[in-house]
Structure 1
Amino acid sequence: MRRACCLPHALFIATSWSGGAWAQEIHLPEVEVRGPRDAAIGSADSASEGAAERQVFQARPKLRPGDIIEAVPGVVATQHSGDGKANQYFLRGFNIDHGTDFSMKVDGMPVNMPTHGHGQGYADLNFLIPELVSGVSYRKGPYFADNSDFALAGSATIDYLSALDAPFAEVTFGSNNYRRLLAAGSRTLQDQTWMGAVELVGNDGPWDVPENLGKANALLRYSQGSPSRGFSITGMAYKASWNSTDQVPQRLIDSGELPRFGSLNPTDGGESQRYSLSGKWFDKSEVGETNVSAYAMAYRFDLFSDFTYFLNSPVNGDQFEQTDRRNVFGAQASHQMPTKLGVFDGVLSFGVQWRADRIGEVGLYNTESRERLSTVRSDKVSQDLLSVYAQQLVQFNERWRGYVGLRGDILRYDVEGREPVYGPVNSGSGQDSLASPKAGLIFTLSPQQEFYLNAGVGFHSNDVRGATITTDPQTGLPADRVPALAKGHGAELGWRFQPNEDVTATVALWQLRLDSELIYVGDSGSTEPGRASSRRGIEATLRWKLPKGFRFDVDAAYSRARVPRRTARG
């Protein structure tokens, strides 16, 4: 797979304006902008949780918006099939594809898409506006009760600012016809703040067939309240289209029959749209903290790919289309409160989460030049995931503290096959449920050092079309079903060292075991067999703030993944 080249030469123009309505002499209250705080001695519950400071990830060069997720130590994000497609992610021995075992949220809304036309857990971050991101907080491993679907290897939460220091506009021009316009601003009166942003991006890339990326992005947010109580309402809109050259045979490049940046099918590419409306309300007091949020989302996706060209169909070619049309609704509520268990102080956290995906069409079609020729699969899917959780933290003494948690998830689904031949036999409905215990123990050796032991059960959901399938739509042969919820077990031993506010070092030894990796494959419309697997590794980080604004960051990770060999039975 080939990555688009970065922009070697770019012209960047930035302006700040102050005129008209922005120049009125109004005495505004002080606006304090904060991102999530990094985990610290006394507050962290594992060695592999933390938060990236805004100055750090904003200073890193980013080829695409999704690259911001590399602020999470150990995460690698790459790309193929055009700038409008979701990144490919790697973490803790997983090729996570586009997000199967790595949960991502932006401004409280989930990014991962279950039962997606291209791949389970598809997490497209191209709607991000990096300049508006206030912080990236992360946790690795299935050790915390509030982490939901897809968080087996880890999770990341990306937050947006609620106010800007000053309005600004940026215009960027680069090689390969790259151009970008970003304008953003906010206005605060008393306890009310409006913030808006618009982004327009275009790029052709170095390809012989221009990528012709066209992206439009917009955000509007209203927030009101104080640091102890308030609410916000946010609307987002995103639309993109692109061409992609995909992979090409190496032998054609070696022979000179095809240029290095050439293409065998100039009609490959895609379109994606995402529109959302969300709201959040919070209340903080001495007796506890309550958070309530809800969201609604409309999502559209079309991807045209051609991996084998004329292998299967010498006449029409092997291009195929993957499509997804859905509306997503969700809500969550959580409460955190101090508790007293005998002589021990503690903190109790509990909550409920609900997500509903109403997928009007998720399909796989054979195409030529983006025109449909035949249907492999076309389904209407409805699925609901309802979750409850609770986690109790106990402070045993000055050196020891620990927590136990329990999470319960129930997934209900209905698949209605619309392809006339195999659609009826691959239809069905059902449900699956899972209880996931969590636990952690923390020992404070000194005010500068802590040790952590964490363990837990986590899961990722599978494409529910694989939970109802009986017949492979490509071959007509019997197909294996997948479990709707796939369970995994994880454990971790960690150490954190913080001699002062400027230095943090962590080391974590971890392991993950999956009961099965049988998955539904969107590229073929059927299931792919897989066995139980195990992964283990070590991760280390160093954060060192130097004088005069310099900073030294080092991340290192080593992992080993193994699938046991099949044993013959007599």
Structure 2
Amino acid sequence: MSFFSFRTVAGAVIAIQAGLTSAADTPDARTTQTSAATRAAETAEPDITELAPMTVQGNYDNAVGTSDAASQGVVNAKLIQSRPILRPAEVLEFVPGVIITQHSGDGKANQYFLRGFNLDHGTDFATFVDGMPVNMPSHAHGQGYSDLNWLIPELVDRIGYRKGPYSAEEGDFASAGAARIGLVDRMPRGMASLTGGSWGYGRSLIADSHAVGNGDLLYAFEASHNDGPWDKPENFRKLNGVLRYSFGDDDNLSHITAMGYSAKWNSTDQIPKRAVEEGLIGRFGSLDSSDHGRTERYSLSFDTRRKLDDGLFKFNAYAIHSRLDLFSDFTYLLDNPADLGGAANPSGLAGDQFEQAEKRDVFGFASSRAWFGELAGLDMSNTLGVQLRHDRLDPVGLYSAANGKRVDTTQKSQVRETAAALYGENSLQWTSWLRSVAGLRLDHYNFDVNSNIPQNSGKRSAIISSPKLSLIFGPWAQTEYFLNYGYGFHSNDARGVTARVTPKELQATSPADPLVRTKGGEIGIRTEIVPRLQSSIAFWQLRVGSELVFSGDAGDTEPSRPSLRRGIEWNNHYMALPWLFFDLDLATSHARYTRSDPSGQHIPGAIEKVASFGVSVTDLGPWFGQFQLRYFGPRPLIEDNSVRSKATTLAYLRVGYKFNPDWKLALDVFNLFDSKADDITYYYASRLAGESAGGMEDVHFHPVEPRNVRATLTTYF
């Protein structure tokens, strides 16, 4: 169990921009990073003021004096490895208030919820892995699409997270929050594991590292299969690999990382409630058994961090190739109730199945330089950074389909999207109890769309500036206070930015705004006044210039009205005993459109209440385990709030035993109490066979998986 002591030095400055970024991106962040606080501690005069040491559980690096906001922190590997994880993206649930669900097959990006948002597949929550962006703009299935199914949880070393648009480093998609996942440089020991579980689940993993030259070469290979509880077996097949070379020392550390991932699956998407009530299908059935998907992702990245006499230099570059081919049917016979016939539909089947497909190449880099010094005797740090990203989609398309095969082209485009950003941030220690962090970010976007619909081809560019300011007061009595305010944004799909006619009906429409302004504020407190307990509370607000809302018939998101969200978050981490650790996170939010409309002011899918409670047991003799309970409450499904989803409560349990230092067995139980809840719920019109034209408005849901068990045998070598 790791511990650390916190010491406050009068006049010390803490360079959080450099600190949190490296904590998220680099496993050895604490040893490779020099902050002004560290420098001040090393060179302070004898009259420093030193608080009594405190012991804090090493699962989180969120101690008083290490953050710019109460809603900011870092999660360490020990806690990440302790929890059972149903899906790889659930590592993001270590970010307090985040909920991860699914409304389709295991190979599709998950559904994300945070701070009053149904984030769809990642919009307004930015995710990075070792500096590589996960969010995909202008994606075939949804803006900001964040697929983390290629992540190997055993390789995650740290997760640095921020919420709100308060950091100059974070740009597109980061208004609700951002997470930066760092991978391990080396394995303490080689490991191999085999997992077997309910419904044909199987997984094998081998990972190890070896000293090569002046560095360490790490490799990991993963293969898995899952049928799931669905009436039509999912037959999910995944192959995944990582090759990573780390070289240098604590002052100059670099990585070269190659990744490859491929997956195929059958989809069971959300289904209408009436179809189950009428006995047409079971709860785990599908109305279109030909829905399916396949995806690939390959990447090569390089990053380096160098300590300098007066600061820190960071650089990372990446190249990503990905593709997705996804067949879905959410409305059944609403648009195509009769046999289309002819050459347009050689299968002779009616139905609303559609295909979303894209091939994408992404190239980019990010670099920053931090200087630590003084201004008029006050400790100060300054950071300048530049970011560049270029996405090439050849092509990205929407197609009509039948029986799992493409029938016709609705829209197909070649897209070139380039984003460039310049940012600066200043941290200044005004007094022993007041520090300010001021930042400014400038983003420039170019959109170039060549569509098969001539009216929708075109070029546009946009620029947006985002000022930020944080004030940090204290600490007093082991308690720190925060005021945060900042501007942010999210980009819109390039095809919508240049569109002048709708792709299906070819009716006139207005192009969407390229960049949508967001602005938010937060008041927070973090305290360690109670021994072994770290507690934080944040009162936040966020305005969004235009919501992106899920569209059932199109299967993607569409721009909507401006909105306002407010909420409260309360997070607690308590180390009761050296082997016993508790987490309790509570959040509530209020989300409304700010522009009046007869349909109502509620935002469909906006999450209102989230709760998470965890108990972790480590090294209790040969035993270890974890219990996790999460709750996300009812949500409005339409604007007038007349239809609401039900709450979902799920429990996970892990019980493990170490036979000796080389072998251990873990038993994971998901949905411990066999809840009949839903992972996701929507309300929109669909049409079943025999129903009248126009279909019926109905609740469409994707059920949580029933109780299932997985056993993992792991050996170390």
| TM-score in same-fold range (> 0.5) | yes
How far apart are the structure 1 equivalents of 2:597 and 2:116? 24
Q: Structure 1 residues 268 and 182 mapped into 2: Cα distance closer, same or farther (>3 Å)? A: same
Runs (5+) with no aligned partner, structure 2: 1-25, 31-59, 340-349, 599-717
CA distance in 2, matches of 1:181, 1:529: 42
| Cα deviations by residue, 1:356-399 (Å, 9 ceiling, x for unpaired) | 00111111000012221111110000010000000001001101
Given candidates 267, 278, 290, the residue that maps to 2:313 is: 290
2:304 to 281, 288, 292: 281
Distance between the aligned counterparts of 1:294 and 1:100, measured in 2? 23
Corresponding residue number in structure 2 for 1:515: 545
* Aligned partner (choices 65, 68, 72) of residue 45 of structure 1: 68
State how far apart, in whole Å, the 2-side matches of 1:192 and 1:567 are.
Answer: 61
Letter in 2 for 1:517: E
Query: SS of the residue aligned with 1:180?
Result: strand
Q: 1:561 to 1:538 in 2, by over 3 A?
A: same
Deviation at 1:527, TM superposition (A): 8.0
3-state SS of paired residue (2:274): helix
Separation in 2 of the partners of 1:277 and 1:501? 45
The structure 1 residue matched to 2:230, chosen from 203, 207, 228, is: 207
Deviation per CA, 1:181-218: give whole Å up to 9, x if none. Answer: 10000012563100000000101111121100000000
Partner of 1:544: 574
AA matched with 2:569: E
Distance in 2 (alpha carbons) for counterparts of 1:526 and 1:207: 24
Q: Unmatched 5+ residue regions in structure 1?
A: 1-31
Bigger Cα displacement from structure 2, 240-249 vs 112-121: 240-249
Among residues 320, 323, 334, which one is paired with 2:368 in the alignment? 334
Which residue in 2 is equivalent to 1:10? none
User: 2:575 is aligned with what amino acid?
Assistant: K
Report the alpha carbon displacement of residue 247 of structure 1 after superposing the two structures with TM.
2.2
| 2:295 aligned counterpart, secondary structure | strand
Alpha-carbon distance change, 177 to 33 in structure 1, aligned in 2, over 3 angstroms: same
SS of the equivalent of 1:546 reads strand
8 A contact 1:459–1:487 mirrored in 2: yes
- 1:225 correspondence with 2:248: yes
The structure-2 alpha-carbon separation of the partners of 1:309 and 1:61, relative to structure 1 and needing over 3 Å to count, comes to same
Deviation at 1:40, TM superposition (A): 2.5
Name the aligned partner's letter for residue 351 of structure 1: G
Give the total of aligned pairs.
533
Among 450, 463, 470, which residue is 2:480 paired with? 450
Deviations 1:220-253 (A, max 9, x none): 0111100100211000000001001212232332
Determine if contact 2:396/2:414 at 8 Å carries over to the other structure.
yes
Q: Does 1:376 pair with 2:410?
A: yes
Counting only pairs closer than 5 Å after superposition, residues 315-394 of structure 1 correspond to structure 2 as: 315=339, 316-394=350-428
CA–CA separation in structure 1 for the residues paired with 2:284 and 2:564: 38
For residue 68 of structure 1, the aligned residue among 84, 87, 91 is 91
> Which residue in 1 is equivalent to 2:115?
92
Structure 2 distance, partners of 1:470, 1:70, is 39
Q: Give RMSD over aligned pairs.
A: 1.9
Q: Contact 1:274/1:298 (CA < 8 Å) preserved in 2? A: yes
* 1:337 shift after superposition: 1.2
Which of 175, 182, 185 is residue 152 of structure 1 equivalent to?
Answer: 175
Query: SS of 1:173's equivalent?
Result: strand
CA distance in 2, matches of 1:293, 1:460: 23
Distance 2:521 2:276 in 1: 46
Q: Which amino acid aligns with 1:345?
A: D
More off after superposition, 131-140 vs 338-347: 338-347
SS in 1 for 2:90: helix
Query: 1:154/1:310 Cα in 2 relative to 1: closer, same or farther (>3 Å)?
Result: same
Report the counterpart of residue 121 of structure 1 in structure 2: 144
Identity %: 46
Cα contact 2:205–2:223 (8 A) shared by 1:
yes
Alpha-carbon distance change, 529 to 140 in structure 1, aligned in 2, over 3 angstroms: closer
Distance 1:518 1:106, change over 3 A: closer
Q: Does 1:558 align with 2:581?
A: no
**2:470 maps to which residue?**
440
Tell me, yes or no, if the aligned pair for 1:462 and 1:519 is still in contact at 8 Å.
Answer: no
Cα distance between partner residues in 1 of 2:165 and 2:559: 24
- Normalising by structure 1, we get a TM-score of 0.90
Q: Output one character per residue of 1:305-355: Cα deviation in whole Å (capped at 9) or x when no partner.
A: 011112221222110000111100001111111132223221101110000
Check conservation: 1:193, 1:222, Cα contact below 8 A: yes
Offset, 1:474: 1.3
Q: 1:429 aligns with which of 426, 436, 459?
A: 459
- 1:468-496 CA-to-partner distances (Å, cap 9, x unmatched) read 00001211211122111111010000001
1:503: how far off? 2.3
The one-letter code matched in structure 2 to 1:394 is: L
Out of 85, 88, 101, the residue aligned to residue 124 of structure 2 is: 101
CA deviation after TM superposition for structure 1 residue 518, in Å: 6.0
Query: 1:80: which partner in 2?
Result: 103
Distance 1:281 1:106, change over 3 A: same
SS at match of 2:199: coil
Report what 2:266 is aligned to.
Answer: 243
Question: Does the 8 Å CA contact 2:331/2:553 hold for their aligned counterparts?
Answer: no
Shift of 1:499: 3.2
- Aligned match of 2:440: 406
Cα contact 2:427–2:436 (8 A) shared by 1: yes
Paired residue for 1:260, among 271, 279, 283? 283
The separation in 1 between residues aligned to 2:380 and 2:457, in whole angstroms, is: 48
Partner of 1:29: none
For residues 495 and 433 of structure 1, the distance between their equivalents in structure 2, rounded to whole angstroms, comes to: 34
Do 2:27 and 2:158's aligned partners in 1 also have CA atoms closer than 8 Å? no
**Structure 1 range deviating more: 539-548 or 179-188:** 539-548
Contact 2:361 / 2:392 at 8 angstroms: preserved in 1?
yes
**What corresponds to 1:4 in structure 2?**
none
CA contact (8 A) 1:223 1:232 kept: yes
Which letter does structure 1 place at the counterpart of 2:144?
G
Q: Which amino acid aligns with 1:411?
A: Y
Q: Which residue of 1 aligns with 2:522?
A: 492
What letter corresponds to residue 256 of structure 2 in structure 1?
I
Distance change in 2, residues 1:501/1:287 (3 Å): farther
- Distance in 2 between residues matched to 1:501 and 1:298, nearest whole Å: 49
The answer to whether the 8 Å contact 1:118/1:523 transfers is: no
**Separation in structure 2 between the aligned mates of residue 221 and residue 517 of structure 1, nearest angstrom:** 39
- AA paired with 2:295? S
Distance 1:112 1:341 in 2: 39
Between 1:400-409 and 1:442-451, the stretch displaced more is 442-451
Report which stretch shifted further, 488-497 or 340-349.
340-349
Deviation at 1:525, TM superposition (A): 8.8
Distance in 2 of aligned mates of 1:520 and 1:43: 38
CA contact (8 A) 2:561 2:593 kept: yes
Q: 1 CA distance for matches of 2:202 and 2:154?
A: 16
C-alpha distance in 1 between matches for 2:428 and 2:390: 34
Residue 271 of structure 2: SS of its match in structure 1?
A: coil
- Does 217-226 or 501-510 show the bigger shift? 501-510
- 1:173 lines up with 2:207 in the alignment: no
Deviates more, 1:531-540 or 1:255-264: 255-264
Question: Which of residues 467, 472, 485 in structure 1 aligns to 2:497?
Answer: 467
| Matched residue, 1:164 | 187
Distance 2:361 2:551 in 1: 22
Contact kept? 1:472, 1:525, Cα under 8 Å: no
Stretch of structure 1 that moved more, 209-218 or 543-552:
543-552
In the alignment, the residues of structure 2 paired with residue 260 and residue 522 of structure 1 have an alpha-carbon distance, to the nearest angstrom, of 20
Query: Does the 8 A contact of 2:64 with 2:475 survive in 1?
Result: no
TM-superposed CA distance for 1:567, in Å, is 6.9
Q: Distance in 1 between matches of 2:548 and 2:212?
A: 55
